[in-house]
Amino acid sequence: MSNKIIIANFKMNLSSKEEAIDLCQYYQQKDKELPNVDFIAAPDFLWLEDVVKLGVATSSQDCFFEDSGAFTGEISPMILKNLGVQYCIIGHSERRRLGDTDEIINKKIKAVVKNGLIPILCVGETLEQKQSGQKEEVLKNQITKALDNIPPSTLYSLVVAYEPVWAIGTGLAEDPEEAEKTMEFILNLTKQIITEAEIKIIYGGSVDAVNIGNFVSKNIIQGALVGGSSLKKEEFAKILEIANSLNK
Ligand code: 13P
């Protein structure tokens, strides 16, 4: 069985490099004792290089869809790759809310895979969409558009993060059985589009040390994308421990 992946998405919550390094070193140390789980850090762009230097697997929280040129303020996927970054989160609902359309997300995925980074594609429905019975339609739309026309030879590995928008930062995680069903739907659909790559599907949205076990004990759920709890040392270390112990 392959290792579960637990990603710490610090978002824009830390105020200094020292804090980010301190958390990453703590989780790295913990992860070294845990053979069945892989820790990935998604710190602020500004500290990616320092976290890479620690020897921690890293993800950027976003990137631009061009490698270089007159794009003031954007982050190049080529530079991320050259820094030693391995993953890139694309289509997080917090980016979609700020204007990332399905078309932009598709371009970003293409740029990321062209540079040999592994995309972590985030999908998820809002509460309104869930309540009006549109969940599967919304997810299908997000996935088919994000993965449209990706040359199979460029994409060897893909992570899909199912993050219900209403579960992010609210303390209201999705019911694990319901998440499992939704994630089966997502995985089947993704496999029909991306036939040759290794695909992992992970859950995100109010994951903590109390509920992590209910998610990662499901075979289909290959890990978690963790926001708030990744800022709390003991809580996140516990999440790593539980994910490790349930993956034997
Ligand atoms: P929370 O764990 O804070 O709900 O955030 C989830 C998330 O958005 C991870 O990308």
Digit-by-digit pLDDT tens for the chain (248 residues) are: 689 999 999 999 999 999 999 999 999 999 999 999 999 999 999 999 999 999 999 999 999 999 999 999 999 999 999 999 999 999 999 999 999 999 999 999 999 999 999 999 999 999 999 999 999 999 999 999 999 999 878 899 999 999 999 999 999 999 999 999 999 999 999 999 998 899 999 999 999 999 999 999 999 999 999 999 999 999 999 999 999 999 76
The one-letter code for the residue type at 19 is: E
Q: What spacing in Å lies between the alpha carbon of 11 and ligand 1's midpoint?
A: 9
Both structure tokens of 215: 């998610």
Is the distance from the beta carbon of residue 118 to the nearest atom of ligand 1 less than 6 Å? no
Report the residue among 206, 230, 239 best suited for mutation to probe ligand 1: largest number of ligand atoms under 8 A from its CB. Answer: 206
Q: Which domain holds residue 68?
A: 4-245
The answer to whether residues 22 and 69 touch, using CB atoms and an 8 Å cutoff, is no
What are the C-alpha distances in Å from 221 to residues 6, 34, 48? 11, 18, 27
Counted domains in the chain: 1
What are the C-alpha distances in Å from 108 to residues 68, 125, 182? 13, 20, 25
CATH code for the domain of 98? 3.20.20.70
pTM of the predicted protein model: 0.97
As annotated, the active-site residues are 92, 163
Report the residue among 226, 232, 236 best suited for mutation to probe ligand 1: largest number of ligand atoms under 8 A from its CB. Answer: 226
CB half-sphere exposure, 17, CA atoms < 13 A: 9
Tally Cβ neighbours within 10 Å of residue 214: 19
List all residues 6 or more positions away from 26 whose beta carbon is below 8 Å from its beta carbon.
233, 237
Please give the biggest Cα pair distance in the chain: 49
Q: What spacing in Å lies between the alpha carbon of 174 and ligand 1's midpoint?
A: 12
CA 42, 227, 124, 96 dihedral sign is negative
